[in-house]
């Protein structure tokens, strides 16, 4: 009997693999074909020196978790680590910070965090920090002088610069200043659905021109105002990003917990407790029903195929483009 064809490379540019997830959920993620997930260490809403302390604690906790489940998980520092994990049917985790606040204003911490395994830092979260403006800030003056210096240090060590959650001027400044290609790991297209977290066509084009990649996310209210029967709106964002940036510069960045999120008041209460004023119940549900669970990448694959993409372009969108970016920046 002939050997089955190799499975597609599937990488998630930003997702949630929590320390509390049972290994049965990791098995489902792996069985769906997903090979790697960039995971967020540290609550990005933590500011001041506490953010650095929290980052170190989370690094230690994730390292221990990966070591304790080395038959299913792997820490990825390079593309070679992702490839090796894929060959062993393990899930490669790329460590990422969703705010640069752990660095404070000490650039040597970039080297320290890199040495501990952080491979990407998102410059801002929703509001102003030492680097620039987040997407919810009242005024976006772009990158600060320290922001320019931080990007230069990240470029020097080989750390991926992420502009998700940034204001559009801060994002544009970053793309223009970085000597290495950058990523918007989890966003949608402002032209398709207007939302403060979505990215303009102007920045999508600039990102592509600089060799970067945009990850289309699966948070429902970034995708569409429709709360039900809305799956095709997700693929509208992928199509638009491809038209604007080119099929070589788009990937999947789910921004989603890989578990099944229940439609319950308890879940809403948990979000209120975690997010505070940044979440209100009228934003519920945050998920698209068909993408709510650990096998969501199968649905994404089938939807992209249904939209008529050639096999080579399906491979690019699901993992090839992100792997290329990782290779160029992380090695």
Query: Distance between CA 212 and CA 44 in Å, rounded?
Result: 23
Q: Please give the average per-residue pLDDT across 100-125, as a whole number.
A: 98
Is 283 part of a structural domain of the chain?
no
Does residue 3 have a pLDDT over 50? Answer: no
- The whole-chain average pLDDT of the chain stands at 95
Query: Distance between CA 113 and CA 150 in Å, rounded?
Result: 13
Q: Please give the average per-residue pLDDT across 294-322, as a whole number.
A: 97
Q: What is the pLDDT of residue 279?
A: 76
Q: What is the pLDDT of residue 6?
A: 53
Does residue 181 have a pLDDT over 70? Answer: yes
Is 100 part of a structural domain of the chain?
yes
Instruction: Compute the C-alpha angle 110/153/37, nearest 5°.
Output: 60
Which structural domain, as residue segments, surrounds residue 52? 11-263+289-329
Is 280 part of a structural domain of the chain?
no
pTM: 0.95
Is 216 part of a structural domain of the chain?
yes
Query: Distance between CA 66 and CA 62 in Å, rounded?
Result: 6
Work out how many domains the chain is built from and give that number: 1
**Residue for token pair 């690019």:** 316
Does residue 65 have a pLDDT over 90? Answer: yes
Q: Please give the average per-residue pLDDT across 228-232, as a whole number.
A: 96
Does residue 191 have a pLDDT over 80? Answer: yes
Is 6 part of a structural domain of the chain?
no
Is 1 part of a structural domain of the chain?
no
* Phi, psi of 257, rounded to the nearest 5 degrees: -65, 135
Q: What is the pLDDT of residue 4?
A: 41
Between 34 and 278, residue with greater pLDDT: 34
Q: What is the pLDDT of residue 81?
A: 98
Query: What's the pLDDT band for 1 if we cut at 50, 70, 90?
Result: very low
Is 318 part of a structural domain of the chain?
yes
- Here the CATH number for the domain that contains residue 63 is 3.20.20.140
Between 262 and 65, residue with greater pLDDT: 65
Is 168 part of a structural domain of the chain?
yes
Q: Please give the average per-residue pLDDT across 214-235, as a whole number.
A: 97
Share of residues in the chain with pLDDT > 90 (%): 88
Q: What is the pLDDT of residue 261?
A: 85
């Amino acid at each position: 009997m002939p050997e089955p064809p190799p499975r597609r490379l599937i990488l998630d540019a930003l997702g949630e693999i929590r320390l509390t997830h049972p290994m049965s959920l990791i098995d489902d993620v792996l069985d769906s074909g997903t090979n790697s997930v960039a995971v967020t260490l540290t609550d990005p809403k933590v500011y001041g020196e506490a953010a650095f302390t929290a980052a170190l604690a989370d690094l230690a906790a994730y390292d221990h978790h990966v070591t304790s489940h080395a038959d299913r998980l792997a820490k990825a520092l390079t593309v070679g680590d992702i490839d090796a994990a894929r060959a062993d049917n393990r899930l490669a985790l790329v460590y990422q910070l969703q705010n640069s606040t752990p660095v404070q204003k000490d650039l040597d911490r970039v080297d320290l965090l890199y040495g501990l395994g952080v491979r990407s830092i998102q410059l801002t979260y929703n509001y102003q920090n030492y680097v620039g403006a987040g997407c919810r800030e009242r005024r976006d003056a772009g990158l600060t002088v320290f922001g320019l210096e931080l990007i230069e240090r990240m470029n020097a060590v080989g750390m991926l610069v992420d502009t998700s959650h940034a204001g559009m001027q801060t994002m544009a400044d970053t793309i223009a200043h970085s000597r290495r290609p950058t990523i918007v790991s989890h966003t949608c297209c402002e032209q398709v659905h207007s939302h403060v977290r979505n990215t303009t066509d102007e920045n999508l084009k600039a990102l592509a021109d600089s060799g970067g990649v945009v990850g289309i996310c699966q948070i429902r209210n970034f995708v569409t105002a429709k709360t039900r029967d809305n799956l095709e709106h997700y693929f509208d964002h992928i199509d638009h990003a491809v038209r604007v940036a080119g099929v070589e510069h788009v990937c999947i960045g789910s921004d989603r917990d890989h578990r099944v999120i229940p439609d319950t008041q308890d879940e809403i209460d948990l979000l209120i407790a975690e997010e505070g004023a940044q979440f209100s119940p009228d934003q519920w549900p945050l998920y698209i029903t068909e993408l709510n669970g650990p096998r969501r990448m199968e649905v994404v694959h089938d939807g992209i195929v249904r939209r008529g993409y050639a096999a080579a372009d399906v491979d690019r969108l699901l993992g090839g483009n992100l792997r290329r970016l990782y290779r160029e920046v992380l090695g």
